[in-house]
A and B are shown apart, each in its own frame.
Chain A
Amino acid sequence: ETGVTQTPRHLVMGMTNKKSLKCEQHLGHNAMYWYKQSAKKPLELMFVYSLEERVENNSVPSRFSPECPNSSHLFLHLHTLQPEDSALYLCASSQDTGYYNEQFFGPGTRLTVL
């Protein structure tokens, strides 16, 4: 596998379920990101990790819980979600968090909350 991969690609869950999204990057990068892409809205940054340390949390509800066990893996743990949380969740990575760095995106997980 190369680049940034995400699993699963599609996820349907009830509001009482607990699930996790996984992201893996094979680029040797030190920074990883979670974005939310809702229909007809700009991408919203959720979390930023640099060297496994969370450096930004954009006022995301606590029902979203990120985890970065190492610089290659990023998880987003989901629990008691709401229907409005249905969206495409994109993971990205970059060499570091420098502003000039290109972010490489994964294909996303399409989440539907029933």
Chain B
Amino acid sequence: AQTVTQSQPEMSVQEAETVTLSCTYDTSESDYYLFWYKQPPSRQMILVIRQEAYKQQNATENRFSVNFQKAAKSFSLKISDSQLGDAAMYFCAYRLFQGAQKLVFGQGTRLTINP
């Protein structure tokens, strides 16, 4: 079965500090895309960052970066200089290159930013 596991239901971090959200996934395929989505309390899910599985270089978007370990099937998200607006549910997801059209999501991690 294709699954995504986010082992941290909740995380908290002090404002301006760095936090890492973990994600592992299970697939036998070699070509896929990985995503981190953010869902703030307003509920509209937005894309934070994405990574192509065939690229070894970790993706970076401003304060957000990933640590992609393909062999370990691990895809963690690091948020540097945390801001109050980063408080949200964070979902890890992947999508296969071929076959099913769907994004497979993890259960999410609720991130709280402490001022």
User: Hey, which bits of chain A sit against chain B, CB under 8 A?
Assistant: 31, 40-43, 45, 48, 50, 55-56, 58, 88, 90, 92, 97, 99-100, 102-108
Tell which of B40-48, B59-67, B69-77 binds the partner.
Answer: B40-48
CA distance A50 to B4 in the complex (A): 25
Determine if A48 and B102 form an interchain contact, defined as CB atoms under 8 angstroms apart: yes
Determine if A43 and B103 form an interchain contact, defined as CB atoms under 8 angstroms apart: yes
Q: Mark B2-39, 1 if CB is under 8 A from A, else 0.
A: 00100000000000000000000000000011010100
A56-B101 contact, Cβ under 8 Å, with A99-B33, A99-B95, A102-B47: yes
Q: Chain B: which residue is nearest A92 at the CB level?
A: B45
Closest 10 CB pairs of A and B: A105-B45, A45-B102, A42-B105, A43-B105, A107-B44, A48-B101, A99-B95, A97-B101, A102-B47, A56-B101
Distance to closest chain B CB from A10 (angstroms): 11
In the complex, which residues of chain B have a beta carbon less than 8 angstroms from the beta carbon of A55?
A: 101
Q: Chain B: which residue is nearest A41 at the CB level?
A: B107
Determine if B50 and A102 form an interchain contact, defined as CB atoms under 8 angstroms apart: yes
In the complex, which residues of chain B have a beta carbon less than 8 angstroms from the beta carbon of A103?
A: 47, 103
Q: Chain A: which residue is nearest B94 at the CB level?
A: A99
